[in-house]
Amino acid sequence: MRKLVLLALVGLGAQLVDGSLGMAYGVTSTTLLLAIGTNPAAASATVHLAEIGTTLASGASHWKFGNVNWPVVAKIGIPGAFGAFAGATFLASLDTSVAAPVMSLILLTLGLYVLVRFTVRGLRTDRLGHPLRKRFLAPLGLVAGFVDATGGGGWGPVGTPAILASGRLEPRKVIGSIDTSEFLVSVAASLGFLLALGSQGIDFAWVGALLLGGLIAAPIAAWLVRHIPPRVLGSLVGGVIVITNARTLLKSDWIDASSGTRWIAYAAIYAVWAAAVAWSVRAHRAERDLAPATFDEAPVRERELEADPV
């Protein structure tokens, strides 16, 4: 019972992050399941089964708050479903001893990307309103879906920053559209895992616990997306993913680092993580302080022009 409560809390926290940032439900939940010794394919299958319900609830909530661009959902979601089915079939065929470090390496890479992307770079706004074309969204969806199924997460970490970087869709609609299209990806990945594995290694009580936490958080996250600073949250989430999967890799047969080496690596990661979060907080405060000043200067300049039109 204690483990189920913990999983429900993880599902709640992961969905709060995912629904407000457009990523990290699968990565966060799968990382926890791997940390407690779950088979990699079973871990990804468990998370994707739970995501069928959480993404449906999240999509409905985002739609209610006007955060969804339906053409984007279709153009990226359908190719994403094909990629997810292929990724699930591929992961199920790997030996467990090989799959565990491979999945941790994928998750570590995604965590680093999230950490760097949201710490270092801001969000573009100069191309808002320009159309997102199928030739960009279809390959993106295919790759993101494959990574999502093989890594236990990745739809958001791959798709959200790529669309945000284009600057063509406002952030809340990027997040809402990615979360909504993930329903198609979750269904396809779950189908792939069930056909390849059956119910082997899947604890449906765990699925229910993750689902319950996610259902509670979905409408809250859809509302929070208008208020929470994504830069700070991205740095926090990226750091959690990096430290957890670095721990798995350092203890794996691939590296088998000594205890002293592991602790030095952990200390270095924590120091970089703390610096990244501090940088993000400062950057967010600077952007927040600049916005009112810029807004207030406009009427002053208008009055100056009226007084001296030359």
- Interval 154-171: pLDDT, tens: 787 778 777 776 767 777
Q: How confident is the model at residue 296, as a pLDDT?
A: 40
| Count of domains for the chain | 1
Q: For all residues of the chain together, what is the average pLDDT?
A: 76
C-alpha to C-alpha distance for 17 and 83, rounded to whole angstroms: 24
Nearest C-alpha neighbor of 50 from the set 176, 177, 216: 216
Name the helix (H) or strand (E) containing 213.
Answer: helix 204-224
Q: How confident is the model at residue 77, as a pLDDT?
A: 92
Q: How confident is the model at residue 308, as a pLDDT?
A: 40
Q: How confident is the model at residue 1, as a pLDDT?
A: 66
Q: How confident is the model at residue 298, as a pLDDT?
A: 38
Burial annotation 210-232 (CB, 10 A radius, 16+ → b, else e)? bbbbbbbbbbebbbbbeebbbbb
Q: How confident is the model at residue 96, as a pLDDT?
A: 56
Q: How confident is the model at residue 301, as a pLDDT?
A: 38
Q: How confident is the model at residue 80, as a pLDDT?
A: 93
Give me the domain span that covers residue 31.
2-307
Q: What is the reported pTM?
A: 0.66
Q: How confident is the model at residue 78, as a pLDDT?
A: 94
Listed as ranges, residues in the chain with pLDDT below 50 are 293-310
Helix (H, G, I), strand (E, B) or coil at 234: helix
Helix (H, G, I), strand (E, B) or coil at 263: helix
Residues 6+ apart with CB under 8 A from 274: none
